[in-house]
């Protein structure tokens, strides 16, 4: 029974959405157990959340600092901290736990500015700790397969990428009607310099970076504000030039009526193309030049080892977001276990978004905002 | 912390597939905790499985009879038993726990013959225990919405139903190559009188019964055996007459190349129609006479209360089979908690497949086999 | 200019639908020209239709008998007659033209009873004339490709076929509101012994017969009447046993809300499967065992010669029903030209539905009606 | 019989593709008849094409100038000229016929530079002639319905448009292998300053302009050349700012493996959205805020009068590119007939792409090329 890894959570109190998702995703595989938390700055909410999660009262902390200090000192203290607070507090909380020698999983975007993100990446490395940033969607098995297909040259050299992330939920100004999620996302003091690019454009950047390995050379971005009285972008178009010579086009939107959560990409190479939609996450379209398009899914082809290992159910049994989340945690916890045992994790298990990936995401958002302020002038990354 | 419900599992040892699915589905919501088990008749497998699940050795039982007896006597004994063994043993195990006063969740098909199923249903009622049969697919939120739409008369009087469940996995005789799942399913001594109708045709029957409330008056079935040396059906066509005057057509197949797990239905009423595919489980197609078809999904319309309550993620964030499974357990555990507190569960929480539903499934399989033996003659139910 | 083949039309006056479709389809390729007609028993309608089609008044005939007689005697008389009247008159008209030595294209179903159909087939052969029955949907290029794939054994031995043809248009009793098409189709005196099976079930039979070459050994049919006061079927379920040992399931319906004209098939073999939908007529789904499904379309794979020859536009440029119709005429006219030149047409150009195909369709309808009258008893063909 | 309108064709000889499409599309409705032509500068090709089309030898002209002069002088001379030559010759041919007082239908792009296009538009107006530019895809009935929905405010104020036109056919350098279509399109002397934007980007511009009525204020374009040794673009990304404040994003590509001819748009307004794909041309997706998406098609909703009038077949009977083409000609010929009778055509029948639409297309291409040469700087239109 000593096999189990213990974790604590910061944020994720009642009324929060994403904390619950993280907890369920971890529970699904049962490899790590919640043993401590500081769920809300509201004492009452914090206590109630902790109790509902069956935590002993001494491990329900009123502040993350107290939590870091106390857990550090317990013999059965947490092995890693999960940070699911709004963006603005990520940096300070992550730094605190890292300084105490506790590994960290943090929601994205990692920080409000890229210097902070880089600092966290450096600190984690210096402390020899594991740091993950939960870009959920790279957790899908067929995404790992897509990455493997590209790495093997199946679609040839990449020429053009068209990736997008349209949503509808901010098509009207629901932040003015008390919708809590909308309120903090559209508020610069919680969200930072960008709403739409920061929240979902960054997923596009991360997904393409993960799958293709391409690095962005420069970009030209036009950020739009369609909602009345909004201060931050709710739609953005981004032209991307990659260092390889490939070209890209990203679009993200929160005012795109008809789309729920429609992250997708299409990647065109010299020999073939790949396309994928997050709302149909277990199917990958692969087409070779002049040939009929093929729909790859678990059980309909041999997925790469990195993807196949992540499958919990046979073909035709849908797995979704909880499972994608769980996949990120699965690799992270496996790697952490090895690290805690004093060994180096296998590269395969280091397959989760790192602090450097988090940094790249924040840097991308900064560049988009800068370009847009200059009327879509090209900005080097 | 006394809030948690305890459960034990019979079956689900290493090498089994479905036991793990049940455990993860229950873990996802964290309302019930595994505290005992008898996972395999193989002592070593049993022990290893129990240990990997962090059970104390005294609650890893070598036989289900011992488990029922011991757990019955513990103050902290299990509140319900989950039976995930092959079909042939369901009856005896379920009876044993019911007799000891322990509620039961049992995989489907419930028993090998309908008399046994009826006996279990009667016994559960007599003992005032809760009995669920895990017909997974009725757990999807939009399925509950579909049921509600029909009940409200949105598509008018039902005229015709076309439902099917094609799979590919037994298109070749993999049971002869040591595939364990295939081996027991195609073996009459484990599966009973039917393979294909019993395994998946019964899901069609249950789904249509659940959604529409229609009762079958008579049926005409043609069961086929395409795999060489097989003794049981791997494909079946069933014409159904409902008592209401509606007509139906069911098809199930395990040799349908190109289909993974493709349960689907189309229901035609006088005013509209509904269609749904299990492999795209969160979308429901609703079409009114002469009108454009609509795609209903969570967040794209107000789901019925029974469905909306089951949603864990916002629109566009796929939930799948684990969540459907969890939904059945969620209602069951809520109802059980109320019952253990000496009160009568609200009807809403009794929304899970019952022992009587299990009976109906077994009876359906029997009628199909009988009809087929008589060259597709009509058989009354 | 003497290259052009001349044709006449019987039926297809103002208010008719299908006559116009035939004329446009023939005009699309410009290989045959309308030079005579008897478009309606209503003299005024007949005259107006003929004039609007730029026919000289002496070739606008008040009766098909006069037309057959006169055209037979002209040096520039028609080379073939197109019959697009309601079902009940097909036999007499076709016989009349055949007896005069004029080739015939006739709408389906060919006749009201199979003896008449056989008589026409025999007469055409005796007179050495070309007879086509316009089962439209076999004209699509990918259908010809599907046929070729099956003939080459690409999907192995056929085991099971699931084919259907659901429509919505008779979900309400529009025949009582003066809808002309609905009125004659639901009237036994025009339609014969069946409405739904005769009108669209026969397309299913013909399509499967054309693609697979399988012959039906026996069938069990349940014909339903859902529309109030109807005398003929508007929905039917048909279980089919083929002589090869393969099994089939056909469903046709005119009360299936949500479907426009949704002929489709799925054919399962030992090595692969094929599926196709008429409403997406240029795409064919091909899946091999365990492999990703592929979408075949013009330009995305090399179609068989018989299909490729029928393509008028490059990939991605939709062709539809007019073009499918035109394909049938294209082969027919090419073959007829050769025949009129005293030579035997190449087998490739004889690729159009023959009088014997028409006979098989009528025989199929008769068997379905007989089976249904006997409560779905098996009927030998 | 004097009802028929006569037309002549310039270009469209053997080996050409689009001339045949125009001829078949016109034949489909039978309202206009080909009576003269100058099909190729190759005398032999010209003669053979004319003869195969049953033209008398005196109306098969060796030059378009001779044709314009002679037809002008005939009492039964052509009523309009159809120009289907490569882009570079459009201007001179069109001018010649207009100067002789003959109406013109010209393929797109109208001319190589916008000054010429404007000149043609002015000349047609001065001569009181009808001029159409065959932007095919606006001919689809549901496109006309989409336009009507937007005009009625069904989706509110337009905020964002994402439109694209990806193709695969130039993913490899087939112009070096003698593919004639590829050769002239990638050759600046035939195609002008742009290949991809000129050939297909211009369809995007025209489609969006037609449906929405929005005018482009400025654009930023990045034109790419991926094919080796190519001088003209084969891929392009274009950010568009409309005068209304709406924003747009166009992408066109000839190297997008997996796409045949995949023109599509998605238009997002404050109240709803519309999307459409050319490869599925009879279905239009309409989604209102928070509501289920709807699939509109002929027969599944009342199309606008402008669209409904264009339908030749009932719901579920696919019509495609020939019919879309025919719809443009149908309106044009109806309007021309009225004009030739000395009356003013009804506005409804003036619903075809005009010379001014042709001008706008050429101007758009010029602006894209200019912007791209300036590293995607904004260019005013």
Q: Compute the nearest-CA separation of C194 from chain A (Å).
A: 40
| Residues of chain D with a CB closer than 8 angstroms to some CB in chain B | 286, 290-297, 299-301
Question: Cβ A317–B313 below 8 Å, yes or no?
Answer: no
Distance (Å, rounded) from C-alpha A243 to C-alpha A356?
Answer: 18
How would residue D5 be classed by pLDDT, with cut points 50, 70 and 90?
Answer: very high
Positive or negative CA dihedral for C174, C176, C181, C187?
A: positive
Residue D300: per-residue pLDDT: 87
| Peptide bond preceding B109 in cis form (omega within 30 of 0) | yes
The pLDDT-based confidence of A1 (bands split at 50, 70, 90) is very low
Average pLDDT over residues D53-82: 97
Task: Note the pLDDT tens digit of each residue in C5-39.
Answer: 999 999 999 988 899 999 999 999 999 999 999 99
Q: Enter the tokens of residue B20.
A: 């793990």
pLDDT in tens, A315-333: 999 999 999 999 999 999 9
Cβ distance of B378 and C378 shorter than 8 Å = no
The distance of Cα C4 from the centroid of its chain, to the nearest Å, equals: 24
Residue among C238, C235, C137, C135 nearest C195 (CA): C235
For residues B290-301, average pLDDT: 93
* Model confidence pLDDT, tens digit, residues A224-237: 999 999 999 999 99
Instruction: Please indicate whether, in this complex, the C-beta atoms of D249 and A247 are within 8 angstroms of each other.
Output: no
Q: Do D300 and C30 touch (CB under 8 A)?
A: no
SS percent in chain D: helix, strand, coil, step 5: 40, 20, 35
For chain A, percent of residues with pLDDT exceeding 90: 94
Is it the case that residue A2 has pLDDT exceeding 70? no
Task: Give the mean pLDDT of B137-159.
Answer: 98
Nearest to A223 by CA among A243, A195, A249: A195
Q: Quick: pLDDT tens for C350-372.
A: 999 999 999 999 999 999 999 99
Cα–Cα dist C129/C89, whole Å: 20
**Which residue, among A55, A56, A129, A137, has the nearest Cα to A96 in the 3D structure?**
A129
Q: Do A320 and B320 touch (CB under 8 A)?
A: yes
Chain B residues within an 8 Å CB radius of A316: 167, 259-262, 278-279
pLDDT at B150 over 50: yes
Please report the sign of the dihedral spanned by the C-alpha atoms of residue C113, residue C115, residue C118, residue C122: negative
pLDDT score of A266: 98
Residue A341: half-sphere exposure toward Cβ, Cα within 13 Å: 14
Mean pLDDT over all residues of chain A? 96
Is C290 a residue whose pLDDT tops 90? yes
Task: State which residue of chain C sits closest to A298, comparing Cα positions.
Answer: C292
User: Which residues in chain C have Cβ-Cβ distances shorter than 8 Å to B375?
Assistant: 378
What was the pLDDT predicted at B2? 43
Residue of D160, D275, D290 with shortest CB distance to A235: D160
Nearest to B237 among C164, C249, C268 (CB): C249
- Chain C positions with Cβ closer than 8 Å to B: 155, 159-160, 162, 164, 168, 171-172, 220, 222, 224, 226, 235, 237, 239, 247, 249, 251, 253, 255-258, 266, 268-273, 275, 285, 287-290, 293, 375-376, 378
Q: Give CA–CA dist D294/D149, Å, rounded.
A: 14
Alpha-helical segments (H) within chain A: 18-29, 43-52, 64-73, 90-99, 114-126, 141-151, 180-185, 188-191, 196, 202-212, 305-308, 321-340, 355-373
pLDDT > 70? residue B197? yes
- Preferred mutation among B150, B222, B249, B258 to probe C, highest tally of C CBs within 10 A: B258
Tell me the pLDDT band of B1, cut-offs 50, 70 and 90: very low
Q: What is the pLDDT of residue C139?
A: 97
Residue C300 C-alpha, separation from nearest chain A C-alpha, in angstroms: 5
A300–C291 CB contact, under 8 Å: yes
Does residue D272 surpass a pLDDT of 80? yes
Of D20, D279, D318, the CB nearest to C321: D318
User: Out of A3-17, C240-254, D212-226, which region has the weakest mean confidence (pLDDT)?
Assistant: A3-17
Give chain D positions within 8 Å (CB) of C259: 316
Question: What confidence score (pLDDT) does residue C359 get?
Answer: 98
Pick among C146, C292, C293, C315 to test the A interface (most A CBs inside 10 A): C292
Neighbours of chain A (3+ CB pairs under 8 A): B, C, D
A286 min Cα distance to partner chain C (Å) = 9
Residue A308 Cα to chain centre, angstroms: 21
C79-91 confidence digits (pLDDT tens): 999 999 988 999 9
Query: C295 contacts in A (CB within 8 Å)?
Result: 292-293, 295
> Which residue of chain A has the CA closest to B167?
A316
* Contact criterion met (CB below 8 Å) for C47 and C18: no
Confidence (pLDDT) at D1: 37
- Cα dihedral D99→D101→D107→D108 (10° resolution): 50
Instruction: Tell me whether the omega of the peptide bond preceding residue C109 falls within 30 degrees of 0, making it cis.
Output: yes
What whole-number distance in Å separates Cα of residue D245 and Cα of residue A102?
A: 50
What are the backbone angles phi and psi of residue B34, rounded to the nearest 5°?
Answer: -75, 125
Average pLDDT over residues D195-212: 98
Which residues on D lie below 8 Å from C281 (Cβ)? Answer: 318
Does residue B17 surpass a pLDDT of 90? Answer: no
Cα B49 from Cα B36, distance rounded (Å):
11
Is the predicted pLDDT of residue B190 greater than 90, yes or no? no
Name A37's Cβ contacts closer than 8 Å, sequence gap at least 6. Answer: A8, A9, A10, A12, A46, A49, A50, A53, A55, A59, A60, A61, A67
For residues D230-249, b (16+ Cβ closer than 10 Å) or e, as one string? bebbbbbbbbbbbeeebbbb
Those chains having 3 or more beta-carbon pairs within 8 angstroms of chain D are A, B, C
Between CA A139 and CA A126 the distance in angstroms is 27
Residues on chain A touching D168 (C-beta within 8 angstroms): 289-290
Per-residue confidence (pLDDT) for residue A299, from 0 to 100: 87
Residue D115 has pLDDT above 50, yes or no: yes
| Residue of D91, D93, D20, D100 whose CA lies nearest to D63 | D93
Residue-wise pLDDT for A273-313, tens only, equals 999 999 999 999 999 999 999 999 998 888 999 999 999 99
Decide if pLDDT at B162 tops 50.
yes
Q: Which residues of A touch C149 (CB under 8 A)?
A: none
Mind giving me the DSSP string for B72-137? Answer: HHSTT--SEEEE-S-GGGHHHHHHHHHHTT-EEEE-SS--SSHHHHHHHHHHHHHTT--EEE--GG
D237 with A249: Cβ contact below 8 A: yes
Q: Which residues in chain D touch residue B294, judged by CB atoms under 8 angstroms apart?
A: 292-294
A292 with C296: Cβ contact below 8 A: yes
- pLDDT digits over D70-114, tens only? 999 999 999 999 999 988 999 999 999 999 999 999 999 999 999
pLDDT at D279 over 90: yes
Residue carrying structure tokens 């539905």: C353
pLDDT at B31 over 80: yes
Of D159, D224, D258, the CB nearest to A247: D224
Does C3 contact D318 at a Cβ distance shorter than 8 Å?
no
Q: pLDDT tier at A68 (50, 70, 90 boundaries)?
A: very high
CA–CA separation, A278 and B132 (whole Å) = 34
Contacts of B300 in chain D (CB under 8 A): 290-293
Tell me which residue in D290, D291, D301 faces B291 most closely, judged by beta carbons: D301
Structure-block tokens of residue D150: 């937007």
CA A91 to chain centre: 15
Query: What CA–CA distance (Å, rounded) separates B118 from A270?
Result: 63
Residue C299: the pLDDT is 87
Residues of B in contact with D290 (CB under 8 A): 299-301
Pairing between β-strand D264-269 and β-strand D247-253 as defined by DSSP bridges: unpaired
pLDDT at D206 over 70: yes
Q: Which chain A residues are Cβ-neighbours of C291 within 8 angstroms?
A: 300-301
Name the band, by pLDDT with cuts 50, 70 and 90, for residue D2: very low
């Amino acid at each position: 029974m000593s096999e189990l890894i213990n974790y604590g959570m910061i944020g994720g109190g009642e009324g929060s959405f994403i904390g619950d998702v993280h907890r369920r995703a971890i529970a699904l595989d049962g490899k790590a157990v919640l043993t401590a938390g500081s769920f809300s700055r509201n004492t009452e909410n914090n206590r109630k959340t902790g109790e509902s999660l069956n935590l002993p009262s001494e491990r329900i902390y009123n502040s993350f600092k107290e939590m870091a200090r106390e857990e550090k000192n317990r013999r059965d203290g947490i092995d890693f901290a999960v940070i699911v607070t709004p963006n603005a507090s990520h940096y300070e909380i992550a730094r605190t736990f890292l300084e105490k020698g506790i590994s960290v999983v943090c929601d994205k975007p990692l920080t409000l500015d890229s210097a902070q993100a880089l600092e966290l990446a450096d600190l984690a490395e210096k402390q020899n700790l594991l740091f993950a940033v939960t870009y959920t969607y790279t957790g899908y098995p067929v995404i790992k397969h897509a990455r493997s297909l590209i790495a093997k040259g199946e679609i040839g050299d990449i020429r053009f990428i068209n990736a997008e992330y349209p949503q509808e939920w901010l098509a009207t100004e629901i932040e003015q009607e008390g919708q809590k999620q909308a309120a903090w996302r559209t508020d610069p003091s919680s969200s930072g310099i960008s709403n739409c690019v920061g929240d979902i454009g960054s997923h596009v950047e991360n997904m393409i970076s993960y799958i293709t390995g391409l690095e962005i050379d420069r970009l030209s971005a036009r950020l739009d504000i369609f909602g009345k009285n909004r201060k931050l972008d709710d739609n953005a178009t981004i032209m991307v030039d990659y260092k390889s010579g490939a070209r890209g086009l990203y679009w993200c939107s929160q005012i795109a009526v008809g789309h729920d959560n429609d992250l997708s990409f299409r990647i065109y190479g010299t020999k073939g193309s790949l396309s994928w939609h997050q709302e149909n996450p277990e199917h990958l379209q692969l087409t070779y030049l002049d040939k009929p398009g093929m729909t790859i899914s678990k059980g309909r082809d041999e997925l790469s080892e990195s993807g196949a290992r992540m499958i919990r159910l046979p073909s035709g049994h849908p797995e979704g977001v909880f499972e994608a989340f769980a996949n990120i945690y699965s690799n992270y916890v496996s790697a952490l276990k090895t690290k805690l045992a004093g060994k180096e994790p296998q590269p395969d298990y280091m397959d989760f978004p790192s602090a450097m990936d988090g940094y790249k995401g924040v840097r991308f958002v900064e560049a988009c905002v800068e370009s847009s302020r200059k009327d879509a002038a090209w900005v080097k990354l």
